[in-house]
Structure 1
């Protein structure tokens, strides 16, 4: 396997800057997920690593080797695309071994590699079938097997599960996590689905507008987002953002308030008294209850109640016309149009510009 190093990586299409300077270190054996909204540059960045897009500026190292000018086949990478791209007239065995046969790999070695990949993916019984005889998940496993037989230094995945239905995506996420553990491989995975990112990654790279917003472990990003974009992108349901005014600042603590929220002290940096801010509270940190004796709370008229079995999603509209969503791990008797109050721990809240 191999490590990756991206230094000041940039990509422009004419006058349009798509990747605006990315610095990133990926350790040997890490599972790194690029995540962000459509158009953020994550797939372009992956294609630059693969050699499918030219690098406008900066340096790319794979396994310590400068790869800016190397062709894709010279980079010791294997890529799995959103589309399975299987040859319909070939069997699973032939599809998985086709790249090796083009490289004149001896038949005995080809056979060993294909059968070992099939064992890892639990596909030994499918080797003689054609793609038309396979389910969507099985076809994607063939595409992954085609990458495994090449024994690359780095695996690249470009939204490989987006064509699958919801239940199958969950199963394939488990398969990919297991595959990573078994191979100990370096993997770079692109998705717009933050749940995939949270469940698969050792390290998440959050991109927006061609720039890296934050890099860290899933729980680091969940608990300590560096800005409002990351806070709103990571986590489901989405984090609540409430407009507040900063009343006073004491070191790294700011006291904030609004029409809907009584004064509450929150950890912060870079704020001054009188400035405006966003108070951010995760739906999971809101608990039913009326604030008393200086407790932090928020309430409003219920506009939505969704009972999902393991949790209940409640949305209320505050007196200031803002929407607040709470995720409650119990079934509480709440109805549309009622007034509901929620408590929260100020230590679990964030303040953003």
Structure 2
């Protein structure tokens, strides 16, 4: 296995630059997830690593090798696509081993690798079946098995769970996490689903507009988002944002003013903030509590009862709503008045450029 290094990597399609100078290091054995909205460049970046898209400029290294001009088959990577791309007339055994057969691998070696991959993926009982006899999750395991037998330096996954239903996605997420632990492999995974990113990754790379917005562990990104984009993208339900003004400053906190808030105090360094400064207040839905004396109040416009928690949306004015994720089962009525409170340490502040303070 090997690590991966990108230095000022760029990709142009004609005059349009879609990857805009990405710098990234993936350590040996890490599970790294590229996440972002559709069109942010995450799949293009993965295909550049695989060699399926040419790198316009910059350095792309796998292990200690510069691979910019190396053919995909010689890069030491194996890619699992959103589409299973299985041969319908072949058995699972033959699908998994087809690449080895084309490479001229001796039959005994090929058989040993196929059966070893089947044991890892718990699909030994499926080897004689054909794709039409398999479920979606089983077909995806076959596609992963085809990658495993190649013994690559880096595994690449391009939204591999997108074609599965919700229950199968959860099961396959757990299987991929177990597979990473069992193989100790370097894996790079692309998804638009931030829940997949949070549950699978050692390191998350958040992309928007071909630019890396932040790199860090799931909890780093959740607790310390670098900017408004990351704060709004990571976390479900998404973070609430309110425009506020600094009302007063003390040694370890500031008091905020807004027509929508009853002057809450939040923890913040005072070194440079001054009364009158305009900021954005970010509040995670799970940080909000029902509180009759809380600073946020309005009319309940939505109640979602999930059993373990209750999602409540409250309209503050004609254009502004906030979402609260309340623990347990709460007796909240649609159309009722409600107030919410938060602890000072649970607030996030962002400047006029969207950067976290």
Both proteins in one fold, TM over 0.5: yes
Q: 1:316, 1:340 within 8 Å by CA — same for their partners in 2?
A: yes
1:175-186 alignment to 2 at 5 Å? 175-186=175-186
Secondary structure of the residue aligned to 2:157 is strand
Q: 2:42, 2:207 within 8 Å by CA — same for their partners in 1?
A: yes
Partners in 2 of 1:83 and 1:26 — Cα distance? 25
Aligned length: 349
Query: Does residue 351 of structure 2 align to residue 331 of structure 1?
Result: no
Partners in 2 of 1:157 and 1:19 — Cα distance? 19
Partners in 2 of 1:187 and 1:265 — Cα distance? 39
Counterpart of 1:297 in structure 2 is 295
Query: Does residue 281 of structure 2 align to residue 279 of structure 1?
Result: yes
Partners in 1 of 2:153 and 2:72 — Cα distance? 12
Shift of 1:270: 6.6
Alpha-carbon displacement from aligned partner over 1:66-103 (angstroms, at most 9, x marks no partner): 01000101100000000000000111000000000111
Counterpart of 2:53 in structure 1 is 53
Partners in 2 of 1:192 and 1:272 — Cα distance? 39
1:244-259 alignment to 2 at 5 Å? 244-249=244-249, 253-259=253-259
Shift of 1:256: 1.8
Counterpart of 1:198 in structure 2 is 198
Counterpart of 2:95 in structure 1 is 95
Partners in 2 of 1:43 and 1:36 — Cα distance? 10
Q: 1:9, 1:23 within 8 Å by CA — same for their partners in 2?
A: yes
Cα 1:72–1:249, aligned 2, differ >3 Å: closer, same or farther? farther
Secondary structure of the residue aligned to 1:318 is strand
Unaligned runs of 5+ in 1: none
Unaligned runs of 5+ in 2: 352-357
Partners in 1 of 2:252 and 2:84 — Cα distance? 51
Cα 1:249–1:17, aligned 2, differ >3 Å: closer, same or farther? farther
Q: 2:266, 2:347 within 8 Å by CA — same for their partners in 1?
A: no
Coordinate RMSD, CA, aligned:
1.4
Counterpart of 2:354 in structure 1 is none
Counterpart of 2:307 in structure 1 is 309
Q: 1:32, 1:203 within 8 Å by CA — same for their partners in 2?
A: yes
Q: 1:259, 1:319 within 8 Å by CA — same for their partners in 2?
A: no
